[in-house]
Amino acid sequence: MSGMVHVVAHPVLKHNLTQMRRRETLPPEFRVLMSGAGALLLYEATRELPTTDVRIETPVASTSAPSLERTPVCLVPILRAGLGLAAQMLDIVPRATVAHLGLYRDPKTLEAVEYFFKAPANFGESHVFVIDPMLATGHSAAAALKKLKRLSPRTLTFICLLAAPEGVALLQAQHPDVPIYTGAIDDRLNDHAYIVPGLGDAGDRLYGTL
């Protein structure tokens, strides 16, 4: 596995993930755990954002201190489960914009089909973070990255909560330049393309549509 795959080993994230995996965890708790996990993942994934020193006045003295560069940051949750992972991310980077990308899988061709996309005008100048909790086969993530690359963002990073080895391999084959941040890499996919042991359908568990 290349250095582009980061498994975030934070104990709070690990704990949240374990609670989310439990069959008995219901949507209200699942949502809180998911959004907390998202904040921790974004915290790690933004580690490389550039800062510049600016002159400031504290109540005590004049000093030089690091500040995030003005380069825009854009979060791209993939609908619908990406919304659950992104929910608290704006608390980490409040000035980020949010672009929404809706994809569904065509039942005949199994290709990812776009049904919604709304992005800010400065998307092409932005550091872009694509957010989807479950990196399973990797097909929709790969399609999302392919689409977003056409808009030439400054940087592209993929954030998920859980990954299957199959999805990581596909993204690394098709988008070796895109770093992946994940909370864990599970064992495998089952015959229905669910991650094993996983946590089930993330969208259903977030929104009570089981």
Query: Considering the rule CB under 6 A, would residue 83 count as an interface residue with ligand URA?
Result: no
- 140, 160 contact by CB (below 8 A): no
Per-residue contact string for residues 14-33; x = within reach of ligand URA by CB under 6 A: --------------------
Residue 69 CB, nearest approach to ligand URA (Å): 35
DSSP 122-153: TGGGSEEEEE-SEESSSHHHHHHHHHHHTT--
In whole angstroms, give the CA distance from residue 85 to residue 202: 10
Among 136, 143, 168, 184, binds ligand URA (CB under 6 A): 136
Site for ligand URA (CB under 6 A): which residue of 38, 84, 153, 198?
A: 198
Residues 6+ apart with CB under 8 A from 76: 82, 98, 99, 100, 101, 119, 128, 129, 130, 131, 144, 148
In angstroms, rounded to a whole number, what is the distance separating the alpha carbons of residues 102 and 147?
12
Residue 61: CB minimum distance to ligand URA, A: 51
Quick one: the chain helix, strand, coil %, rounded to 5? 35, 30, 35
Report in angstroms how near the CB of residue 149 gets to ligand URA at its nearest. Answer: 23
Nearer to ligand URA, 47 or 192 (CB): 192
For residue 113, the one-letter residue type is V
Q: Choose one: 65-73, 84-92, 102-110, 200-208; the region binding ligand URA (CB under 6 A).
A: 200-208
Q: Out of 89, 171, 195, 206, which residue is the one contacting ligand URA (CB under 6 A)?
A: 195
Q: Tell me: does residue 194 bind ligand URA (CB under 6 A).
A: yes
Does residue 134 bind ligand URA (CB under 6 A)? yes
Taking the CA atoms of 152, 46, 201 and 81 in sequence, report the sign of the dihedral they define.
Answer: negative
Q: Which is nearer to ligand URA, 90 or 193 (CB)?
A: 193
How many chain residues bind ligand URA (CB under 6 A)?
A: 10
Q: What is the 3-state secondary structure (H, E, C) of 37-91?
A: HHHHHHHHHCCCCCEEEEEEECCCCEEEEEEECCCCEEEEEEECHHHHHHCCHHH
* Residue 131 interacts with ligand URA (CB under 6 A): yes or no: no
Binding mask 149-188 for ligand URA (x = CB under 6 A): ----------------------------------------
Identity of the residue, 117 or 207, whose beta carbon is nearer to ligand URA in the bound complex: 207
